Amino acid sequence: MNADPASPANLRLLHLEDNLADAELILLQITAEWPGCEIHRVDTRHDFLTALQRGGFDLILSDFSLPNFNGLEALTLARQYATDTPFIFLSGTIGEDNAVQALKSGAADYIIKDRPKRFVAAIRQALAHVQETVRRRDSEAQVREQATLLDKARDAIIATDLEHRITYWNARAEEIYGWPAEEAVNHRLEELHLHADPGRFASARAKLNASGEWRGEFIIQSRDGRTLQVESTWSLVMGADGRPRSILFIDTDVTERRRMEAQIHRAERMESIGMLAGGVAHDLNNALAPILMAAELLRAHVTDPEDRRFVDSIEASAQHGAALVQQLLTFARGSEGQRTSVDIPHLLADVQKLLGTTLAKDIDLSVETVGEPWPILAEVTKVKQVLINLCLNARDAMPEGGRIEILAGNTTIGGRHVLSQPGAQPGSYLRIAVRDTGTGIPPDVLGRIFDPFFTTKPAGKGTGLGLSMVAGIIKSHGGWINVESHMGQGTLFELYFPVRDPAPGTPSGSAAPSVTKGRGESILLVDDDPAVCDVFKAVLEHAGYGVVAVGTGPATLAEFDRRPGAFAVVITDIMMPGMNGGEVIRALRARSPRQPLLAISGLMDPEKLAGLRDLNPPVECLAKPILPEKLLLTLRRIIDTAARPA
């Protein structure tokens, strides 16, 4: 078919006519109007069918009455083999009924041979109709192709009229919002109950009307109840007259992206907290160190029971402060300590002693073990942190007073219990239960209590790190935690620690052997904090050691050079201005390769510790604050080890 039916260059017609004279007359009329037109005349059914099958015609003209063949049969064949080709009857007589039947059967027109004036116009009209049909079909195909492409888009693409009545809704919109296109189209956006903020929606619409475009984000609820974060672009679509005709919405589901960004920001925040925590921990531990040391010294001189209670309270508070510092460091930096075999009865006795000076008098604390609890391989300080944290939370849940029970015993886990706990394995476990008679945890809060930074306490009363740390510590030990709570009836925390073969050595948490006093050995003590230096010196001298205290690295080396071989042990702080403890240790070992050394610090870096312990002989390391008995026991062991023959 030619593009312009008014002046086609190569118009091809199929003419079914048995009268040669009529055919010549029609040929003259057509070629007068379209000189380049090619007409193929046939006069039998066989020839007509052959021509149809060969195809390539722009128009079919047909007589109505033919020998052994009629025009309606010809029309039927044409509709079968040349569906889109216009068909015009050109006959001397057709009759009204036949004409109606012909038009119903698909003829474009019928023309009486003795009325040739309408002949050319009818051909033009038929060709124009075909061209319009082809154009519309191409347009519809293009629209279908574009719709297919839009359905493959990763964004939800929605078109509405100016009243937000939906006219287009692509496949991605179906996927994101849960509404099939057939249910969404012809409904207003508001009728889909996406629960977007009405105020924000109205503001976006006002800005769209003012500028023709709006970009922003919505919190939207899908049909199945999922909460989505959507990045949306609204655009006004103008008509030919320059006026708005519709609105195009392009929505991107950024829920997962925003969640990942929040995780990255949180990780960055935690990194910042870790850096801050390191400096704070060093200063706090240095501040707590003389308090713990001084409390022990005071206890030796105090005889009044009330005064002893105050000393115990000071020591307990300092230990609790040190535990909180370690808790913050562990959470922020993931630091790990050394695991040893923990004797549970002695550990619980230590916890009870510490809590006895912390809990109010109207709270009754009971600690009980069932049978002989198996020892566990754990970091004793962290296990204490867990129990102390749970008990302090229980205290806060009992403003009118109440009861806290700690019960430890052995259990064997398997079957359904294992299936109900992610990561749990069948086997032998130590179970420690902490039960209180407090207010209980609301059901809507219970599922979030282990989330980092989640807290129901008012500002300044809690960080939301405590229970997150509890869960993390237990998980890091291969165990799990179970919680049961009923409003007004209290809460039960069950802690499960796997029982393993304990490492050789004295179980941590057991009664320490009596501290061996000094025998007049000389100790060189190095610390830049005068308060720490004074208290350490007093503890060591009270234990029978001679102490030379200095505050800097250069002063240490000068004193060591002045009295070579005089010091049984050099105790040096690690973090000091100018020449730090690591540099002091390297300089001392260069002078005396076998010199016994003890490194102390308010902040122990795992990499630095590993480097010190790898030396030959290794350098002992203790973290501040240090209990006097631990310091003296470690010091005695270093001296006795150095005295043994190699």
Question: pLDDT band at residue 14, thresholds of 50, 70 and 90?
Answer: very high
Q: Which residue has the higher pLDDT, 612 or 17?
A: 17
Alpha carbon distance 177, 253 (integer Å): 10
Residues with Cβ < 8 Å from 16, sequence gap 6 or more? Answer: 41, 42, 43, 48, 60, 61, 62, 63, 66, 71, 74
Instruction: Give the pLDDT confidence score for residue 462 in this predicted structure.
Output: 47
pLDDT above 90 coverage of the chain, percent: 18
CA dist 392 to 174, 357, 386, 462, 489, Å?
Answer: 51, 12, 10, 11, 17
**Structural domain boundaries in the chain:** 12-146, 153-253, 522-643
First vs last C-alpha separation in the chain: 108
Strands 156-160 and 166-169: antiparallel
pLDDT above 70 coverage of the chain, percent: 82
Task: Taking residues 190-214, report their average pLDDT.
Answer: 86
Length of the chain: 646
- Where helices occur in 34-116 by DSSP H, the ranges are 45-54, 71-81, 96-104
CATH architecture group of domain 12-146: 3-Layer(aba) Sandwich (3.40)
Q: Supply the mean pLDDT for the chain.
A: 81
What is the 3 state secondary structure string of 344-384? HHHHHHHHHHHHHCCCCCCEEEEEEECCCCCCEEECHHHHH
| Residue 510 in this model has a pLDDT that exceeds 50 | no
Instruction: Give the pLDDT confidence score for residue 478 in this predicted structure.
Output: 85
* pLDDT tens column, 99-128: 788 888 888 888 877 666 678 888 888 888
Alpha carbon distance 603, 615 (integer Å): 20
3-state secondary structure of 108: coil
| Residue 150 in this model has a pLDDT that exceeds 70 | no
* pLDDT tens column, 379-416: 887 888 889 889 988 998 898 889 999 999 998 877 55
* pLDDT tens column, 18-47: 888 888 888 888 888 888 889 999 988 999
DSSP line for 142-206:
HHHHHHHHHHT-SSEEEEE-TT-BEEEE-HHHHHHH---HHHHTTSBGGGG-----HHHHHHHHH
Instruction: Give the pLDDT confidence score for residue 524 in this predicted structure.
Output: 94
- Residues 382 and 337: beta-carbon distance below 8 Å: yes
- Residues 91 and 112: beta-carbon distance below 8 Å: yes
Instruction: Give the pLDDT confidence score for residue 279 in this predicted structure.
Output: 64
Question: pLDDT band at residue 559, thresholds of 50, 70 and 90?
Answer: very high
Q: Which residue has the higher pLDDT, 152 or 7?
A: 152
Q: How many CB atoms lie within 10 A of CB 272?
A: 11
Whether the upstream peptide bond of residue 645 has omega within 30° of 0, thus cis, is no
Structure-token match 């103008």, residue found: 238
Alpha carbon distance 458, 454 (integer Å): 11
The sign of the dihedral angle between the CA atoms of 201, 204, 209, 214 is negative
Superfamily of domain covering 153-253: PAS domain (3.30.450.20)
- Residues 204 and 234: beta-carbon distance below 8 Å: yes
- Residues 194 and 228: beta-carbon distance below 8 Å: no
* pLDDT tens column, 412-441: 877 555 545 665 677 888 999 999 999 888
CATH code for the structural domain at 522-643: 3.40.50.2300
3-state secondary structure of 431: strand
The lowest-confidence range among 86-100, 184-198, 271-285 is 271-285
- Structure token digits, residue 221: 């609820």
Alpha carbon distance 440, 155 (integer Å): 46
12-146 and 522-643: same fold?
yes
- Residues 372 and 539: beta-carbon distance below 8 Å: no
Question: pLDDT band at residue 10, thresholds of 50, 70 and 90?
Answer: confident
Instruction: Give the pLDDT confidence score for residue 511 in this predicted structure.
Output: 42
The Cβ-side half-sphere exposure at 402, using a 13 Å CA radius, reads 22
| Residue 445 in this model has a pLDDT that exceeds 60 | yes
pTM above 0.85, yes or no: no
The DSSP element (H or E) to which 310 belongs, if any, is helix 305-333
* pLDDT tens column, 523-548: 999 998 888 888 889 889 988 999 99
CA dist 471 to 26, 377, 382, 637, Å?
Answer: 98, 17, 11, 36
- Residues 269 and 295: beta-carbon distance below 8 Å: no
| Residue 334 in this model has a pLDDT that exceeds 90 | no
Alpha carbon distance 578, 602 (integer Å): 17
The lowest-confidence range among 338-352, 360-374, 578-592 is 338-352
